[in-house]
Amino acid sequence: MSKAITKVDNRAEQAIVLLNHAEQQLAMAEALVDALDVRDKARAIDALTRIIGAHFELEQRATILRLKAERKAGAWLTENVHQGQRSDLRDDLTSLSNVGITRWQSSRWQAYAELDDSRFNAWIDDKLAAGHDISGAALYRYA
């Protein structure tokens, strides 16, 4: 086996470990910043998998994790943000821009969150079974 192939395999294994850790972190996330942290990690892992030429399945898995994190952020926003203002000022977050979220993202993520878990998971399964890319744009159209 060449050194180049071994290097890609090692990086792919690292991406899998990172994905597993980020998925566990998302399962425990309760605050908006936790969901955003997982989202950022998923985006970084997705970029890593593309750079190293890893398996398409790893890219899709990273995208799914990002969408799950955005759904969780959207659910948090739905519960805690009313007419552009936070209902509680815990952690002194007074606006979306303070945490790096645009109104467009907030609206989109809240639309994702309106899908219950069974519909979201069925959508993911249908896309994967058909061999289609999973993307935020496609999820938004579905939602």
What tens digit of pLDDT does each residue of 54-77 get?
A: 677 888 999 999 999 999 999 999
What tens digit of pLDDT does each residue of 6-42 get?
A: 555 787 888 889 999 999 999 999 999 999 999 999 9
H helix intervals, the chain: 3-28, 32-52, 56-80, 103-114, 117-130, 136-142
pLDDT at position 10 is: 81
Work out the percent of the chain whose per-residue pLDDT is above 90.
59
Would you give the DSSP letter of residue 95?
S
